[in-house]
Amino acid sequence: MRRAGQRGLTLVELVVAFTIMLILTVMAVPLARVKVRTEKEFELKYDLRDMREAIDKYKEACDLGTLGASKQGTFCYPETLEVLVEGVKTQSADGKKMKFLRSIPRDPFTNSTEWGLRSMQDDVKSESWSGDNVFNVYSKTRDHDADDKPYSEW
């Protein structure tokens, strides 16, 4: 059908090519969203584990008497997350500070360094913190994972 010397695509060829590109794009967007969510979940798990390990190390050092006498009502848990970053003076002769975290991690879902805190006296699913000590941390996001479990319960 083409004349000699004419180049280019017919309208049908263009429509077919654009349709194929549209289908591939529509399939790629959900996959990209899943990948982003998976990366956030991985980062959340890592951050929670990191902070919980720091809380446990603080508790262990306090129980061993390395940090001196603990404040009444804290049960040897840190009073805030900032204490883990700033450090606590040890009972050694040189009086060095013992630090447990380099910095408070950023919550990948809320994009904030404000975490939900629970003290030893708080209910397991409580969203209010009594302020006595930091026994556990959780994400303040209202989002749920693929199994419909709230990230705040991780």
pLDDT tens per residue across span 20-60: 999 999 988 888 999 999 999 999 999 999 999 999 999 99
**CB distance 138 to 115 below 8 Å:** yes
- Examine residue 127 and state whether it is found in any structural domain, yes or no: yes
Taking only Cα atoms into account, the Rg of the chain, rounded to an integer number of angstroms, comes to 27
Per the structure, how many domains does the chain have?
A: 1
- Examine residue 5 and state whether it is found in any structural domain, yes or no: no
In terms of C-beta density within 10 A (0-12 exposed, 13-18 middle, 19 or more buried), how is residue 29 classed? exposed
Determine the structural domain holding residue 113 and report its residue range: 11-153
Q: What is the pLDDT of residues 52-105, one digit of tens each?
A: 999 999 999 999 988 878 888 788 999 999 999 999 988 877 878 999 999 999
AA identity, residue 36 = V
Question: Which residue, chain included where needed, has tokens 């000590």?
Answer: 133
Evaluate if residue 148 carries a pLDDT over 60.
Answer: yes
- Examine residue 85 and state whether it is found in any structural domain, yes or no: yes
Whole-model pTM: value is 0.81
- Examine residue 18 and state whether it is found in any structural domain, yes or no: yes
- Examine residue 135 and state whether it is found in any structural domain, yes or no: yes
- Examine residue 52 and state whether it is found in any structural domain, yes or no: yes
The residues, any chain, with a CB within 8 Å of residue 142's CB and separated by 6 or more, are 150, 152
The torsion angles phi and psi of 95, rounded to 5 degrees, stand at 65, 30
Beta bridge partners of residue 117, listed in sequence order = 137
User: Which pLDDT belongs to residue 149?
Assistant: 94
- Examine residue 1 and state whether it is found in any structural domain, yes or no: no
